[in-house]
Amino acid sequence: MRKYVAVMFALIALVLSACPAEEKNSADVFALDTYISMTAYGENSQKALEKAEALLTEREGLWSVTLADSEIGRINQAGGEAVSVSSVTADLLKRALSMAEETDGAFDPTIYPLVSAWGFTTDTYRIPGQTEIGEKLSLVDYKAVSVKEDSVKIGIGMQLDLGGIAKGYIGDEIAALMRKCGVDSAMISLGGNIHVVGSKPDGSAWQIGIKSPEDDGLLGVLAVRDQCVITSGAYERYFVGEDSRKYGHIIDPSTGYPADNGILSVTVTGGEGAVCDELSTAVFVMGLDKGCEYWRSSGEFEMIILTDDHVLYITEGIRESFRAVESDLIREVCIIER
Ligand code: AMP
Ligand code: MG
């Protein structure tokens, strides 16, 4: 009998060692002015990653605001004439415009004249004078953008900037591409904006660290499956002016100045990257109270907000899946209820 059990164990060990761990493949790319890293599991993962890399190059060619011959570049230089665009650009723009409408202009894809006046695209930072800010503000108006089937028209002098939505939209496209290739476990990070496909290969939830806006540590960890986790904060790109104040890259379209409404960082999580990306930017502009009001009226997403008085706010839908870490940066954790 003892001999029989020993043989059985030996056989089980043999079967287990013959079972290969699921294939894992990764790709690191610099595109869209950001570091992108992707990890995918399963037998089709290498093919899916190659397709994702090709998609990234193609989307950068379409949407980079600094490439003169991208579709966005051509619209911005068209002097008010209609420009024909591909259907994916028309779709992205329609989504950006409808979010601008929904957030009452806190998210505005025509913000580029101001982003550029403050030097954020060229890294030649400066504080523009009040007259210049007034002039540029008059060019910011999402209502003056018209998108027809395959053509886009903006007002003379206006300029589009899809930096607040494009990465989320592309993340959705990559996640869809992975699923279509038969990959059911993957993680895509576009400059820290995370999209996960399915669960980890062992079936457990992905554990996503939420970065601290003030040091290399974390604010906490969020457990997710098939979701996006997208963060906005002035700390991502900012400069310190001659007046010793910090000026960040997210502009408040109601003032023309970098948004300064008491939020250090806002993370938005939900099923759709384009929506989470737009909302992280919009809530950063809105501030805590308006952001919470918007969350209550929406039901489409959850958020984690760190305010400049170091209170961490978490919406109730993720109270079980989010774990805050011990940090000097967090004075108090508050749950936001509906
Ligand atoms: P994010 O990191 O997603 O919050 O996006 C920030 C980027 O969006 C900036 O670098 C600008 O290119 C652009 N942006 C800045 N302010 C706004 C705004 N109010 N609405 C839409 N896009 C903006
Ligand atoms: Mg965004």
Q: Which tens digit of pLDDT belongs to each residue from 250-306? A: 999 999 999 999 999 999 999 999 999 999 999 999 999 999 999 999 988 999 999
Instruction: Please give the average per-residue pLDDT across 174-195, as a whole number.
Output: 97
Q: Comparing 208 with 14, which gets the higher pLDDT? A: 208
pLDDT at 71 over 80: yes
Instruction: Please give the average per-residue pLDDT across 183-193, as a whole number.
Output: 96
Neighbours of 287 (CB within 10 A): 19
pLDDT at residue 147, as a whole number? 96
pLDDT at 73 over 60: yes
Q: Which atom in ligand 1 lies closest to the alpha carbon of residue 165?
A: 3
Residue 283 sits at φ, ψ, to 5 deg, of -70, -35
How much is the pTM? 0.93
The DSSP code for 102 is H
pLDDT at residue 9, as a whole number? 47
From 228, 281, 285, mutation site for ligand 1 pocket: most ligand atoms within 8 A of C-beta: 281
pLDDT bucket at 18, cuts 50 / 70 / 90: very low
pLDDT bucket at 20, cuts 50 / 70 / 90: low
pLDDT at residue 210, as a whole number? 96
Kindly write down the DSSP assignment for every residue of 253-295, as one continuous string. Answer: TTTSSBP-SSEEEEEEEES-HHHHHHHHHHHHHH-HHHHHHHH
Cα-to-centroid distance, 183 and ligand 2 (Å): 26
Average pLDDT value for the chain: 93
pLDDT at residue 262, as a whole number? 95
CB 117 within 8 A of CB 188: no
User: Hey, whose CA ends up nearest to atom 6 of ligand 1?
Assistant: 164
CB 268 within 8 A of CB 164: no
Instruction: Please give the average per-residue pLDDT across 210-217, as a whole number.
Output: 91
Q: What long-range pairs does 48-51 form, CB within 8 A, spacing at least 24?
A: 48/177, 48/178, 48/181, 48/182, 48/183, 48/186, 49/25, 51/177, 51/181
Cα-to-centroid distance, 36 and ligand 1 (Å): 18
User: Hey, whose CA ends up nearest to atom 10 of ligand 1?
Assistant: 249
Cα-to-centroid distance, 242 and ligand 2 (Å): 28
Q: Name the nearest CA neighbour of 117 among 108, 125, 109, 106.
A: 125
Instruction: Please give the average per-residue pLDDT across 196-205, as a whole number.
Output: 97
CB 3 within 8 A of CB 10: no
Q: Which tens digit of pLDDT belongs to each residue from 49-64? A: 999 999 999 999 999 9
Instruction: Please give the average per-residue pLDDT across 16-30, as a whole number.
Output: 78
pLDDT bucket at 2, cuts 50 / 70 / 90: low
From 236, 250, 264, mutation site for ligand 1 pocket: most ligand atoms within 8 A of C-beta: 250
Q: Which tens digit of pLDDT belongs to each residue from 99-118? A: 999 999 999 999 999 999 99
Helix (H) or strand (E) holding 198: strand 193-198
pLDDT at residue 328, as a whole number? 86
Any alpha helices (H) in 19-44, and if so which ranges? none
pLDDT at residue 13, as a whole number? 45
pLDDT at residue 33, as a whole number? 87
- By residue count, the chain amounts to 338
Q: Ligand 1 pocket: which residues have CB below 6 Å?
A: 107-109, 111, 115, 120, 161, 163-164, 232, 236, 249-251, 253, 277, 280-281, 285
pLDDT at residue 12, as a whole number? 44
Pairing of strands 238-240, 246-248: antiparallel
